[in-house]
Amino acid sequence: MKRVWVMRPFHDEAIYNSLKQKFEVDTWDDHKTPPHDVVMQKAKECDAFLPEGIDIIDAEVLDGATRLEVIGNRAVGTDNVDIPAATRNGILLTNTPGVLQDACADMTFALLLDAARQVAYGDRSIRAGKWVFFDQTPYLGLDAYGKTLGIFGFGGIGQKVAKRARGFDMRVIYHSRSRKIDLEESMGVEWAPTLADLLQQSDYVSLHCPLTDETRKMMGAEQFAMMKSTAIFINMARGGVVDQPALYEALNNKTIARAAIDVTDPEPIPMSDPLLTLDNVVITPHVGSASEATFKNMGLMAVRNITAALTGGAPETPVNPEALQNR
């Protein structure tokens, strides 16, 4: 019988039951990422992995995998897997796009509004005993309605964010790898030809792009300097897209007004990171897709992909289908 390794113990019973109907199931009984040597050994013992998007599955693991056939990533991002190594070893990689778009768009606006109106800062101030008389001036916020939102990366999540922005009467501009003229008319959004154009025009800048060689550290000191001094920066992509020390300098020097980030580099963010000393940044623990329903549905999609791959079917969302030629 085929064997599946579930790399966390926190999934819904529906996920385990679905897998156990067809396969042997091993589960890593810790909420932390399994050690590298364990991952290497499991690649020799199991036919499928069900990892989280932060579980590194590198070339050393994949080149030494004597049994592994499919990795059902419970994430839309795939930067945790060495895709060329998986492909040359005939190991199929799948992911879970689409199902998390609304949850991530909701979280984007939660961060946007939090940073704009200093929600978390106000809460921290109360808990620290700083609210001792009525005075709104330390908590003055920025408006969202009528402002310009710049979206970098206009895939499914970026488009969902744009739809929500319309409810706030925001002007939406976007930049992505390809221009989407049909959506410009139907959604009332505008094309920014370059990242610089986007940064210079936007009151809010929100990242929704994958982490690739082209996007790694694309937001650095030069880019933050292009933004308005009153602007708010939001990162819902990957921590590696941003030069984190440059973000600290931009916030500390008031080059930009505020930031709200759901991802850091590394993760978890070290308690020694200077970003944690600033009051004009909100940091959440990579929970953009973490609504209860979305968390479960991503797991179920990963299970469907694994089941299809191991039983001769067609997975819903293959990332490297050419891997099958190398089996």
Among residues 267, 292, 322, 327, the one annotated as catalytic is 267
Residue 45 known to be catalytic: no
The CA radius of gyration of the chain, in Å to the nearest whole number, is: 21
Which among 83, 11, 125, 77 is positioned nearest to 262, based on CA atoms?
77
Give the SS3 label for residue 7: coil
Q: What is the DSSP string of 229-269?
A: TT-EEEE-S-GGGB-HHHHHHHHHTTSSSEEEES--SSSSP
Residue 267 known to be catalytic: yes
Amino acid at 310: L
37 within 8 A of 58, measured Cβ to Cβ: no
Among residues 8, 238, 258, 304, the one annotated as catalytic is 238
Crossing angle of helices 119-127 and 101-117, in 10° steps, is 60
Among residues 286, 316, 322, 327, the one annotated as catalytic is 286
Residue 286 known to be catalytic: yes
Active site residues: 238, 267, 286
